[in-house]
Amino acid sequence: MNGYRHLKRLRWVWSEQPVYFITVCMATRRPLLTSPAIYGILVDELTNLKVRHGWAVGPYVVMPDHVHMFLAPRLYASKPLSAAMGKWKEWTAKGILPRVELTAPLWQAEFFDHVLRSRESRAEKWNYMRENPVRAGLVTKAEDWPYSGWIDFR
């Protein structure tokens, strides 16, 4: 034994078709994302992630001060996740900041990402996302939340 038994788990980290759970938060957690006009900007730019950066968008939930989404790279065509998310934040900020008469930054500099390695992990994160508006007291049933959906996959 080479003394590096803990590295054996790394063979399970790589996935041929990974799905990432992403959370992006507003700078200073300003609650302004849940208006129809701003939601439209966010969804337009989510739709453009696939074409511009090679990332397919699955389910997403827009909360007043943050966004959850599932992303999956299109094989051999995707830009690095950090570059794609940076551009998404840049273009959404360009659309949103003039509407709300604020100055940059709109988003926190970082974002949270987690590789979903199993069907169970994916279901758990989807349930977390879906129920987030209920836990926040914004609706009584998840299906009543108007700021969620999916684009390329479920």
Rounded average pLDDT per 10-residue block, the chain, 154 residues: 50 66 94 96 96 95 98 86 96 96 94 92 95 98 97 92
| All structural domains of the chain with their residue ranges | 17-114
Distance of CA 49 to the CA centre of its chain: 11
Contact criterion met (CB below 8 Å) for 103 and 52: no
Contact criterion met (CB below 8 Å) for 125 and 113: no
Say what the pLDDT of residue 92 is: 97
| 60: phi then psi, degrees, rounded to nearest 5 | -145, 155
Say what the pLDDT of residue 15 is: 53
pTM over cut 0.85: yes
Fold of 17-114: Alpha-Beta Plaits (3.30.70)
